[in-house]
Structure 1
Amino acid sequence: MNDDLSTAGSYVTAGAEFTRDTNYIDDRITAFRTESGHDAEGRLLWPVESDRYRLIVARGCPWANRAVISRRLLGLEKTISLGIAGPVHDKRSWSFDLDPDGLDPVLRIPRLQDAFLARFPDYPRGITVPAIVEVASGQVVTNDYPQITIDFALEWTAFHREGAPQLYPEHLRAEIDEVNSVVFSDVNNGVYRCGFAGSQKSYERAYRTLFDRLDWLTERLSTRRYLVGDTITEADIRLFTTLVRFDAVYHGHFKTNRQKLTEMPVLWAYARDLFQTPGFGDTIDFEQIKQHYYIVHTDLNPTQIVPVGPDATGWLEPSGRDALGGRPFGDGTPPPPPPAAERVPDLV
């Protein structure tokens, strides 16, 4: 627990609507090269190379959770190593307090901030996960989380496992992008716009937008198993990481309390279907999720008391979603169990 509240971050600005800083280190790791060393949008390109990079995540963070799921589904565990920060951070950085001696065992640093400062000594922005760090130099490469998973799907194909699914198929990309855009604005970030609202008016506006979008998603998913097409795609990964945190955190901590996820039958069944799909539920640690939000956000929860509930065993109840058809992995296959060092606690 962070007993020194002077190092705690501040997440709510009185009287203001929450606005997320979406400026990240936008370098990319790609299989294609250009003469300039940059892509068409001017982003620096790094080469795809096995064992060169380390993905740094935290189990509590939904944005990092996306990268963990994508890496699992595509079978990149032996290609890109995984460093897991603890669930609690302060305003300076995520730290590796779960590891022996409080050091990442590969990078040998106590704080993710060290990798950012190794490359940018005056780095002015937040230290965020997921981040990819070059192992040899110890320098951060990118923390551009939306691009990281897209590049996992498209640029790392030479290292995908046999049977890896198509998470961002070309013929569905326009629709995936469209769905992702509204889900990010209204749901992924929408819960934060509720929780970190600095006024009653901004909270109520975000609340209405969130539940209007959840109603829209309910209607969309009432007749189809997945968000886009008949297989799991990037769109499902992005929605899942918010839904899986809904009852444990957002419903109470962020005041998104019109209904619990368990009281929205279609979305609850959809989320359980994904949770029980290899590569999804086996990345979820509910205790670390709760610790992250309830301990870190001291301006919302100054006591830092972490709730005991809710009972998570309902995630294992049959979803019945297979009656809608669909093929989770398309022509591919489920991933094998996660490496022993990356396993999360069982629910029962």
Structure 2
Amino acid sequence: MSKPAPYDFQIEPNVDAQFPSEKGRYHLYVTYACPFACRALAARNLKGLQYIVGLSVALPVPHKTKPNDPADTHMGWVFVDPEATPTITGIDGKSYSTEGCIPDTVNHVATVRELYEKVDPAPRPFSVPVLWDTKKETIVSEQSAGILRTLDSGFRDVVQSEVQLYPEELQTEIDAANDSVVADVTTRLLKKLMARTPEEAQAAMVFAFAAIEKLDEMLANTRYLVGQTVTEADVRMFHSLIRLDVSQQKHDEKHLTDYANVVGYLRDLYQIGLNSSVNWDHVKLGVESKCPVVIANGPFVDYTTAHKRG
């Protein structure tokens, strides 16, 4: 059976477009536990689209998406209303706070899986982020990179913003940064989160810090990865680095706090608006759920101290 093609369409500032920009028409589904979903959320917030594009936030720990069907073992992202359901019990028997979650006020579904099946019942991964068109009742995109870019460029006729995350004149350099230093750090984060033993997790961190040392040297000479302002390369890097910070243990030989330029860079990004795409409790739960052999002792960086950059 062939795998369904991914949803990967763009919103355009053109009334004749398949998905034209329009206030209140689109809705973003994320979880703070996922770095890729948080990249999309960061773009929405940095571009000032909070009142243009709606938002739902799933629990940071996957739950059964068909809890009443013993034969269906799928685990995925679920939505709850914190006011109605302040805690929820996972399949592991633990109780999880729902604070910080936002229910689905558009389709009123309980799971991300239901969103996908509302459009097409064919089996497929049920991932976030999801960008939803409320008029056509379909998925615009499930690709984090595509959503990040369409939120950056698709609403320029609706909201004026000085933020340009993927400016045309820097696209070649941004692509190069994404494929090199950003990919190096992100790949090592994912290897740690897929570790099956503490030893594997520690080995992944050794390789991670090799990349972080190079990053620290780079940031000694530049405020951001590309150009003079924040770009999508910084958004991507930020959400990988903070998860490495969270996933560290006190006894680790090296810490992000050992790298002054990286610390200042993270503080800078956090304080100019990326903090709105972070929920530390959800990030910690996401790390520990993804990799049970890791105890998330972080973050160790103080993100609110003055960054003294620029």
TM class by smaller structure: 0.7 to 0.9
Amino acid across the alignment from 1:114: E
- The 8 Å contact of residues 75 and 164 in structure 1, kept in 2 or not, is answered as no
**SS at the partner of 2:178?**
helix
Shift, 1:176, TM fit: 0.5
Give the AA of the match of 1:288: H
CA contact (8 A) 2:196 2:291 kept: no
Give CA deviations for 1:285-314 in whole Å, capped at 9, x if unaligned: 1111112222x236536xxxx75x546682
The 5 Å alignment of 1:1-348 reads 24-31=6-13, 45-90=18-63, 91-100=74-83, 103-125=103-125, 127-136=126-135, 138-161=137-160, 163-197=161-195, 207=205, 209-249=207-247, 251-252=248-249, 257=252, 259-277=254-272, 279-294=273-288, 296-297=289-290, 300=293, 309-310=297-298, 314-322=302-310
SS of match in other structure, 2:157:
helix
- The CA deviation at 1:56 is 0.6
**Aligned residues, how many?**
280
Contact preservation (8 Å) 1:92, 1:113:
no
- Percent identity of the aligned residues? 26
Deviations 1:76-125, CA, capped at 9 Å, x for gaps = 11211111112111343211124455752222111111110111201322
> CA RMSD for the aligned pairs?
3.1
How far apart, CA to CA, are the structure 2 residues paired with 1:72 and 1:229? 21
CA distance, structure 1, for counterparts of residue 182 and residue 33 of structure 2 = 18
Answer with 145-154 or 130-139: which moved more.
130-139
Query: How far did residue 139 of structure 1 move?
Result: 3.3
Q: Which runs of 5+ in 1 are unaligned?
A: 1-20, 38-44, 323-348
CA 1:77–1:247 in structure 2 vs 1: closer, same or farther (change >3 Å)? same
SS at 1:140 equivalent: strand
Partner of 2:22, secondary structure, is: coil
Query: Partners of 1:88 and 1:160 in 2: how far apart?
Result: 34
Maintained 8 Å contact 1:83/1:104:
yes
Q: Deviations over 1:159-202 (max 9, x none)?
A: 233x4312211111100010011244311232112331469998
Give 3-state SS (helix, strand or coil) of 1:158's partner: coil
User: Does the aligned pair in 2 maintain the 1:194–1:206 contact within 8 Å?
Assistant: yes
Q: Please state how far the C-alpha of 1:283 moved relative to its aligned partner.
A: 2.6
Instruction: Report how far residue 231 of structure 1 moved.
Output: 1.0
Matched letter for residue 270 of structure 1: Y
Q: Tell me by how many angstroms 1:219 deviates.
A: 1.2
**1:232 partner amino acid:** V
Q: How far off its partner does 1:51 sit?
A: 1.5
Give the Å deviation of 1:227: 0.7
**Unpaired runs of at least 5, structure 2:** 64-73, 86-102
Give the aligned partner of residue 71 of structure 2.
Answer: none
User: Kindly tell me: are residues 289 and 206 of structure 1, through their superposed partners in 2, closer, same or farther at Cα, counting changes over 3 Å?
Assistant: closer
Counterpart amino acid of residue 113 in structure 1 = R
CA contact (8 A) 1:246 1:260 kept: no
One-letter amino acid of the structure 2 residue matched with residue 55 of structure 1: L
